[in-house]
């Protein structure tokens, strides 16, 4: 048997839904209110901002003891009480600007993680690769918890850090969704 196959390097961020799988958007109706992070707390601050949109009275400090900033599985677990979880999107190290139009088309809620500087190939002596950051994309708006000025919330296509390389992209999905972490 002879098989001719070549890899496809252009997978969509979110593969088409299966027959019994809801397609979304899942959380396009949420009202997100910016929270300014204190120190290097973008992950717990972002999670608190999302949980607050469901009516929860929580802050970043509620999530800090429950998560590992380098373990997205823990992020997904802490969103469960709010009816949400995370699902990985297909992505690679391309710059955020490569993905932004496709993400906006989904009209939903995503977490975008990117490297703050050009990532090296090996960690330093302390085991750290380099600094990364996470922002929230809701429909066509990026909310950045590290900012308080005009960059705190604005049109995604105008976000000032779209040239940064992607570390991870997650779609926020309903708790128990088939693709959740």
Of 36-50, 97-111, 112-126, the range with the lowest mean pLDDT is 112-126
- Rounded CA separation 54/83 (Å): 9
Per domain, the residue ranges of the chain are 42-174
Query: Range with the lowest mean pLDDT among 37-41, 73-77, 177-181?
Result: 177-181
The token pair that represents 133 in the structure block:
């950051």
CA 18 centroid distance within chain: 22
Helices (H), the chain: 42-52, 60-63, 72-79, 96-105
Residue spans of alpha helices (H) in 8-163: 42-52, 60-63, 72-79, 96-105
Higher pLDDT, 150 or 41: 41
Mean pLDDT of 67-85: 96
* Better-scored residue on pLDDT, 107 or 131: 107
Q: How far apart are CA 100 and CA 139, in angstroms?
A: 11
Q: pTM of the entire structure?
A: 0.92
Tokens describing residue 127: 């085991």
Give the whole-angstrom CA distance, residue 13 versus residue 106.
Answer: 10
pLDDT value of position 180: 86
- Phi, psi at 142, each rounded to 5°: -100, 135
Q: pLDDT per residue over 122-176, tens digit each? A: 777 887 767 899 999 999 999 999 999 888 999 999 999 999 999 999 999 999 9
How many residues belong to the chain? 181
Report residue 59's pLDDT band, with 50, 70 and 90 as the boundaries: very high
Q: Domain 42-174 belongs to what architecture?
A: Alpha-Beta Complex (3.90)
Q: Is residue 35 within 8 Å of 145, Cβ to Cβ?
A: yes
Closest CA to 157 of 115, 112, 96, 89: 96
With b meaning 16 or more CB within 10 Å and e meaning fewer, what string describes 7-18?
eeeeeebbeeee
- pLDDT over 80 at 93, yes or no: yes
Residue 1 has pLDDT above 80, yes or no: no
């Amino acid at each position: 048997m002879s098989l001719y196959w070549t890899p496809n390097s252009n997978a969509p961020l979110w593969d088409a839904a299966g027959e019994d799988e809801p397609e979304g958007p899942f959380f396009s109706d949420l009202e997100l209110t910016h929270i300014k992070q204190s120190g290097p707390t973008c992950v717990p601050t972002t999670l608190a901002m999302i949980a607050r949109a469901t009516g929860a009275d929580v802050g970043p400090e509620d999530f800090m003891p429950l998560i590992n900033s380098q373990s997205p599985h823990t992020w997904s677990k802490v969103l469960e009480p709010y009816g949400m979880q995370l699902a990985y999107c297909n992505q690679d190290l391309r710059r955020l600007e490569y993905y932004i139009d496709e993400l906006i088309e989904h009209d939903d809620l995503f977490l975008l993680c990117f490297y703050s500087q050009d990532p090296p190939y090996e960690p330093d002596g302390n085991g750290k690769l380099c600094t990364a950051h996470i922002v929230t994309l809701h429909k066509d708006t990026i909310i950045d918890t590290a900012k308080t000025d005009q960059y705190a919330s604005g049109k995604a296509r105008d976000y000032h850090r779209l040239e940064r390389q992607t570390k991870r992209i997650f779609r926020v999905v309903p708790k128990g969704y088939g693709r959740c972490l």
